[in-house]
Amino acid sequence: MDIDKMKALSYEELRALYKIFLHSQNISKLTVNTAYVDTFYLWRKGSKELFWNTVSAMDFEDSAKNELLKALIENSTGNIKSLVNSYLSHLRRFRLFLSSDGTVQPFTSMQEKVTNPSRTRKKRLDIGVPIPSIDQVEFYLEKWDGLENYHLQEDALHKLFFKLCPKNIDIVDVLLKASTLNDFYSTNIFSIYPVAKHIRDLDIDDRLKVGDVTLVGDIQYVTIGDTLKNFYSFATKYCSHHNPLEYPIYDSYVDEVLRYFRNNDEFSDFQDVDLKDYIKFKKILNDFRSFYSLDKYDLKQIDQYVWQLGKDYFPKNYGKKRRG
């Protein structure tokens, strides 16, 4: 996208163009309407120049936080910390818009030639993904606490898995947990009973307690009718909700983030397909934590951070996306 041409647009012209982009992202109408207004807070309360200087700053994260903080202290009586996080999230999405063609795809990818033909890597536009750091993890963990819908969903699952149905012996308990996960996370399992029966028959409680990583592989493959199905992401979620410190969740957002930083910083040597092997996936996530000196955080916290980072910087163009 030609940034100079964007800068030449008026306030209303830029908002109209941005709204088209927002609708292409398959996000809710409420989110579109909120972003259509809140993204341009610095323009409204400051100036056009302040807005553009902020979104195009080399140190975007720090610059945007500082400018938003100053503007909000001067103009708002609300929870400043919470508002800064909210407006900052909208500015991040706008930067994705600037790195796109302005309409449908927020990223353009191309195959990068590599010496190892078995490794698939994609080179993305420079979208300014913040380097993992303690500050970044703290920011996203605080943001997680403010996401009421996700937070309450997790609270409900915690109650279900730890208080109401902690064991996996009774098929009714397993069916209730599997069905709830499938619904909350939209994992698209259309016949849940065979999955629940498969889990019950594996006798998994002792293995869950000790964090047996091979259990994910045993759960993920289920024969339904005459077809062997692979429910990898669901299996990681089912294990994680019994023992979150030992079973980080795999999903497409996490996949994107790990591949992005592998390609940029080489924090770990792995092929794309390794992320679909749970033993290797957990090792890769531990490599990520160690490489960026994030060892003070447990895997559940790293999981929450990486997922939110992926959701902010690698949005999907299909369906209503949660953790799937």
Q: Where are the domains of the chain?
A: 3-98, 110-146+248-313, 149-240
Q: What is the pTM of this model?
A: 0.63
CA distances for 307 relative to 104, 152, 180, 321, angstroms: 22, 17, 20, 12
CB neighbours of 261 closer than 8 A, spacing ≥ 6?
A: 129, 132, 267, 288
Cα dihedral 184/300/249/114 (nearest 10) = 140
> Does residue 302 contact residue 281 with C-beta atoms inside 8 Å?
no
Return d(Cα 285, Cα 277) in angstroms, integer.
Answer: 12
CB neighbours of 65 closer than 8 A, spacing ≥ 6?
A: 84, 88
Residue of 48, 139, 154 whose CA lies nearest to 86: 139
> Does residue 312 contact residue 92 with C-beta atoms inside 8 Å?
yes
pLDDT tens track of the chain, all 324 residues?
688 889 999 988 898 898 888 888 766 677 777 888 889 999 999 999 999 999 999 899 999 999 999 998 988 776 787 788 888 888 988 998 888 754 434 333 333 333 343 444 444 444 568 889 988 899 889 888 777 777 788 899 999 999 999 999 999 999 999 999 998 888 888 899 999 999 999 999 999 999 999 999 999 999 998 899 999 999 999 999 999 999 999 999 999 999 999 998 899 999 999 999 999 999 999 999 999 999 999 999 999 999 999 988 887 642 334 444
> Does residue 58 contact residue 67 with C-beta atoms inside 8 Å?
no
> Does residue 165 contact residue 175 with C-beta atoms inside 8 Å?
no
Cα dihedral 31/51/311/321 (nearest 10) = 20
Could you count the other beta carbons within 10 Å of the beta carbon of residue 302?
A: 22
pLDDT digits (tens, 9 = 90+) for 137-188: 998 898 887 777 777 888 999 999 999 999 999 999 999 999 999 988 888 8
Q: Which residues of 149-161 are buried (b: 16+ CB within 10 A; e: fewer)?
A: ebeebbeebeebb
Read out DSSP for 136-154? HHHHHHHHHHH-HHHHHHH
CA distances for 57 relative to 62, 66, 67, 129, 268, angstroms: 9, 12, 11, 13, 29
Beta pairing partners, 221: 230
Return d(Cα 69, Cα 66) in angstroms, integer.
Answer: 5
Task: Taking each helix axis as running N to C, give the angle between helix 278-291 and helix 299-313, from 0 to 180 degrees, rounded to the nearest 10.
Answer: 90
Amino acid at position 83, single letter: L
